[in-house]
């Protein structure tokens, strides 16, 4: 005979109906729970908010540098600055789009979020390479830190968005 504790483990924590084996919820409550943004998905949502703010600041700083110091840049230096400006604008627009898919729980979000992550790696990598190749700027740890951060984010979130059951059940519209 089951002990009182074992019986309690098979009751939904939300509504006191019988829970699905291996779950804390009954079928109805589990379906409701997975429709919400929750669990680890709060971190990508926070990341999108941070990316939005950072891209606005980057656009502002790059445009300000372009306006104030454009006469002191060489042609290749201007090319790198324009690449950065348009790259940051692209990142801003992509962040807005991905954020809207995220909030509306659209089915396209997992693939689009992966593209968003890869865009960050490619953009930072190409920017570092252009600055080094065209402007002879040395690449140091401070410069590569953003590239390393983008690569680590890809290593964490791409597998999560590809295999997570929560992602598959949340982004269904």
The yes-or-no verdict on residue 6 having pLDDT over 50 is yes
Instruction: Give 7's Cβ-side CA count (13 Å radius).
Output: 4
Full-model pTM? 0.80
Note the pLDDT tens digit of each residue in 50-88.
Answer: 999 999 999 999 999 999 988 888 899 899 999 999 999
Residue 29 pLDDT exceeds 60 = yes
pLDDT value, residue 73: 85
């Amino acid at each position: 005979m089951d002990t009182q504790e074992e019986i309690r483990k098979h009751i939904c924590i939300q509504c006191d109906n019988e829970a699905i084996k291996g779950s804390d919820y009954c079928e109805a409550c589990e379906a409701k729970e997975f429709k919400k943004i929750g669990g680890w998905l709060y971190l990508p949502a926070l990341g999108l908010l941070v990316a939005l703010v950072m891209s606005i600041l980057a656009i502002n700083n790059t445009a300000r540098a372009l306006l104030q110091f454009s006469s002191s840049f060489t042609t290749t230096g201007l090319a790198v600055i324009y690449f950065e400006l348009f790259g940051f604008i692209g990142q801003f627009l992509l962040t807005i789009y991905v954020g809207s898919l995220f909030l509306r729980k659209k089915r396209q979000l997992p693939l689009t979020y992966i593209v968003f992550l890869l865009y960050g790696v490619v953009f930072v990598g190409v920017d570092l390479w252009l600055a080094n190749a065209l402007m002879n700027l040395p690449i140091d740890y401070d410069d590569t830190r953003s590239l390393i951060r983008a690569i680590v984010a890809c290593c964490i979130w791409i597998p999560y968005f590809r295999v997570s059951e929560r992602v598959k059940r949340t982004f269904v519209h």
